[in-house]
Amino acid sequence: MTRNTTDRVWFVTGASSGLGLAFTRAALAAGDRVVATARRTALLDPTLAEHPGRLVVLPLDVTDREAVAATVDKAAAAFGRIDVVVNNAGIMTSGTVEEFTETDARAQLETNFFGALWVTQAVLPHLRARQSGHIIQISSVGGIIGFATTGLYSASKWALEGMTEALAQEVAPFGIKVTIVEPGGYTTDLYTTMRTQPRHEAYEPLHTALAEMWGDAEDADPAKAADAVLALVDSDRPPLRLVLGSAMYDVAQDAADRRKADWAGWEATSRAAG
């Protein structure tokens, strides 16, 4: 890996807490400049003000496409360019597929998929003009494998990953790098702010079993994820995908092995249908 030591300008969504705040802190600590955006900017850590001249804070609801375009333009004007884009803003709603309301199903996609899409579309003209840049889409282990009661969250992340695979091929000729980051569990407010769908009695045994399974789970420090993302943007040849977390790395490998086994087990049927 060749380390890039030139200072960069970051555009981070969902920067008021959790991973977004960790990315912002890490970038500033590395000597970079950051445009930090969030729906509620008042929640940003006041210690970030210790970096005068290198931090701009802008309010942004990523589901508002016009606001996204205007905010990206302000960000580019603030420091003269954008180098690293981190689509981190996201929400999570828990419930079985049958339990989901239409409103919450659409809200899950509006933030996690369409929000990232609007930001991506808005930054591309700026990155193409410079023939450089790095777009980082914060997905999840839920973008690798679906878990019971997080099906719509996974749907939003799988949509993001599918779009991003195509995007990477489309923008490579312009010198723009693209990476999907797939974190496991980190200590953020994703779970504390999570909405929960009204439970259907048919799924009570499942909810009980899952509560027992995940009750003792320990999440990691977001700063560790930020260190990994800094290493990612320092690389001249970043990967399309980066899994974060040892346990999640094993989950990802196991999921890939099981898919390959399914395909291989039905190879004759697949080929006969060609």
User: Domains of the chain: which residue ranges?
Assistant: 9-272
**If DSSP codes are grouped into helix, strand and coil, which group holds residue 267?**
helix
Which of 153, 156, 177, 203 does the annotation list as catalytic?
153
Do 77 and 70 meet the contact criterion of CB atoms below 8 Å apart? Answer: no
> Within a 13 Å sphere around the CA of 10, how many CA atoms are in the beta-carbon half?
34
Do 1 and 236 meet the contact criterion of CB atoms below 8 Å apart? Answer: yes
Single-letter amino acid, residue 183: P
d(CA 44, CA 47): 9
d(CA 244, CA 268): 36
What is the structure's pLDDT at 257?
97
245: left (phi over 0), alpha (psi -120 to 50) or beta: left
Q: pLDDT for 180-215, tens place per residue?
A: 999 987 566 655 667 888 889 999 998 898 888 766
Q: Determine whether 153 is an active site residue.
A: yes
Token pair in block for residue 223: 């700063």
Do 30 and 10 meet the contact criterion of CB atoms below 8 Å apart? Answer: no
Q: Which of 48-62, 133-147, 212-226 has the lowest mean pLDDT?
A: 212-226
d(CA 127, CA 134): 8
Which of 139, 140, 154, 156 does the annotation list as catalytic?
139
Which of 94, 157, 177, 203 does the annotation list as catalytic?
157
d(CA 161, CA 146): 13
**Residue closest to 187 by CA, chosen among 4, 6, 5, 21:** 21
Q: Calculate mean pLDDT across residues 128-150.
A: 95
40: confidence class by pLDDT, cuts 50, 70, 90: confident
Q: Determine whether 270 is an active site residue.
A: no
What is the structure's pLDDT at 70?
98
Q: Which CATH number fits domain 9-272: 3.30.70.120, 1.10.10.60, 3.40.50.720, 3.30.465.10?
A: 3.40.50.720
Its pTM stands at: 0.92
d(CA 135, CA 233): 9
Q: Determine whether 203 is an active site residue.
A: no
